A and B are shown apart, each in its own frame.
Chain A
Amino acid sequence: EAAVTQSPRNKVTVTGGNVTLSCRQTNSHNYMYWYRQDTGHGLRLIHYSYGAGNLQIGDVPDGYKATRTTQEDFFLLLELASPSQTSLYFCASSDVGGSQDTQYFGPGTRLLVL
């Protein structure tokens, strides 16, 4: 099974702070995704990427940047964190184009912005 890891697992920052969330997948998947999960909204796609150096805009991108440095690593950056960005963040990966479109999720990072 695909392995997706996230760090940190928990993070507390203050309004205006700078936060980087990290994600690594070890199954050579081409696509990687960042979601946020909020009660009542399900999962909402922030950014995604289909390869190193590529970035695609998701459905809720405002206030977030992302960078895909390698096939394995995808980072989510909050440069001026706001309380509205308090959420549970998930990274996922998938091998689109093959017979499987299944997304494999990491364990999540819980972010609190005070």
Chain B
Amino acid sequence: GEKVEQHESTLSVREGDSAVINCTYTDTASSYFPWYKQEAGKGLHFVIDIRSNVDRKQSQRLIVLLDKKAKRFSLHITATQPEDSAIYFCAANPNNAGAKLTFGGGTRLTVRP
């Protein structure tokens, strides 16, 4: 089955700098790649996604890049703020399953003042 690897388990950046979190996946049929954010003591909430028909998507300070050839996608957070500190999870939808997501292991992002 699909496997999603999240390369950075922790990441620390200075406020105002950019943060980049990288993920790779194994199933070439995967077509939907969402990102979720988990703040301390809370459940996950959706932040941005990308589908395989595009290679870049931006929503305010968040940019997602998708390289289907390399089976790699990444989340870029620009102009980081303290409230960006959280655990970020990437995920992939294997085999166009419609519902099922396979998650990466998570990246704990700390934005230092």
Contacts and interface: CB of A to CB of B under 8 A. Distances in A.
How many of chain B's residues touch chain A, expressed as a range? Answer: 20 to 34
Interface in B29-48: 32, 34, 36, 42-46
Contacts of B34: 101-103
Interface residues of A, number: 27
Interface string A59-94: 100000000000000000000000000000010101
Nearest to A50: B99
Interface of B: 1, 4, 6, 9, 32, 34, 36, 42-46, 49, 89, 93, 98-106
Interface of A: 4, 31, 33, 35, 40-45, 48, 50, 58-59, 90, 92, 94, 96-97, 101-108
**Nearest 10 A/B pairs, CB to CB:** A105-B43, A42-B105, A42-B103, A43-B103, A105-B44, A102-B46, A96-B99, A31-B99, A96-B98, A107-B43
